[in-house]
Chain A
Amino acid sequence: MTAQELPIAGDADVVRVRQLVRTAAVAARLSLVDQTKLVTAASELARNTLTHGGGGSATVEQVSSTIKAGVRVVFHDKGPGIPDIALALTDGYTSANGMGLGLGGAKRLVDTFDIVSSPGEGTTVTVVKWAR
């Protein structure tokens, strides 16, 4: 599967991102629990993109190493950015519209989590989940 990009501009887009991630996770033969973890993480991150980044995009792609397959999702926005990433990753960090579990929680649900953000220029979050 080639990379597929979806815009995130509203509530309904969050649902669409979840569905696309689910399809990719099934195709990469992730276990049911791993699919659920990845889709949940994608849901958290898509909502972050919407509420903090003022909208953006999600790019879903199947990836593979020598013996494993996985799914990579990249969330990108051109919003205000995150001034203190370490703080934002802490559980209980309260944001506009969540329980403070968004970023930190999503990080625990995936195998690799990478975040690049600079104030005023936006945020890019990249996550990967491998099939066990």
Chain B
Amino acid sequence: MERIPILKIGNLLLVSIQVDLQDRTVITLEEDLAEKIVATGARGVVIDITALDIVDSFTGRMLATIASISRVLDAETVVVGMRPAVAITLVELGLSLEGIKTALDVERGMRLLSARA
């Protein structure tokens, strides 16, 4: 199973998902991220899903969980780069990811977080 790399940029963490997600990979990411936030004292997390051609309810729920966990650890999460077809499908599925911040791309996501830091 592949592990998704987490990069540290200043006081932010960047996660760029480039693989077709298995459920196990997503769970590992959730654990890795929580540890990394604490270890680095990061104030924000940018999750780039530009490369994902689907987000199902499992992955959607994990994104929400990651956002909640990082909030508890005093870091804000932004999900960036969701494709239109994915967004339409998620809405149809009944998942609006309430409470998750979003941005069009990594650059805007980072700007959004630095404005708050």
Contact = CB atoms under 8 A, between A and B. Distances in A.
Interface stretch (A63-71, A79-87, A94-102): A94-102
Given A15-B22, A19-B20, A105 B57 contact: yes
A47 to B, nearest CB: 6
A43 B54 CA distance: 9
Among B23, B83, B88, B93: residue with most chain A CB under 10 A:
B93
Given A36-B86, A43-B54, A105 B22 contact: no
A105 B88 contact: no
Q: Is the interface of B mostly helix, strand, loop or mixed?
A: helix
Interface size class on chain B is 20 to 34
A102 B57 CA distance: 7
A105 to B, nearest CB: 4
B92 interface: yes
Given A19-B20, A105-B94, A108-B94, A37 B57 contact: no
Contact of A40 (B23, B24, B56): B56
A8 interface: no
A32 B85 CA distance: 7
A11 interface: yes
A44 interface: yes
10 contacts: A18-B20, A18-B54, A33-B88, A36-B88, A43-B58, A47-B23, A99-B60, A101-B57, A105-B93, A108-B94
